[in-house]
Amino acid sequence: MLAGVTAHLSSSSARLSALLAGSGVLHFVAPKPYDRLIPPFLGRPRPWVYGSGIAELMCATAVALPRSRRSGALASAALLVAIFPGNIWMAVEPGAVPRWLAVTRLPLQAPLVLWALRVHRDAPNGEN
């Protein structure tokens, strides 16, 4: 089964899927660093961390599968935009994280969004 899936993955979509999957897994294996990304007005951070981890794993799976690659890549771009306010929050209130590191993360989000949009654009039309 996996051989058929990986045979249809482009290098770019495979890397995007792996990045999303790795990040999604980290939300569960080491959730504490992600807690700082959740602004206090949203309440307890852990449900948000787990929810975004699930969303990243779902996007990773969708990008990996040929039938859902186009929609999965578009969902990935939307997710990356949706979590950007958390990166802004961390830059404003970095806590124990050095401010320079928190601010450095901000411009890195745009290339990730563009990458997901490129995977969406480059997926064959027969792929959802």
Q: Is residue 110 part of a domain?
A: yes
Element at 126 (helix H, strand E): none
Predicted local distance difference test score (pLDDT) of residue 4: 45
- 0.85 exceeded by pTM: yes
Q: Is residue 53 part of a domain?
A: yes
Q: What is the pLDDT of residues 19-77, one digit of tens each?
A: 999 999 999 999 998 998 999 999 999 999 999 999 999 999 999 999 999 999 999 99
Q: Provide the residue range defining the domain that includes 59.
A: 2-122
Q: Is residue 61 part of a domain?
A: yes
Mean pLDDT of 110-123: 96
Contacts of 118 (CB under 8 A, 6+ apart): 12
Residue 128 pLDDT exceeds 60:
no
Q: Is residue 99 part of a domain?
A: yes
DSSP 3-state of 18: helix
How many domains are there within the chain? Answer: 1
Q: Is residue 84 part of a domain?
A: yes
Contacts of 42 (CB under 8 A, 6+ apart): 48
> Position 16: which residue type?
L
Predicted local distance difference test score (pLDDT) of residue 126: 61
Q: Is residue 80 part of a domain?
A: yes
Predicted local distance difference test score (pLDDT) of residue 64: 96
Q: Which of 77, 67, 71, 83 is nearest to 27 (CA)?
A: 83
Q: Is residue 127 part of a domain?
A: no
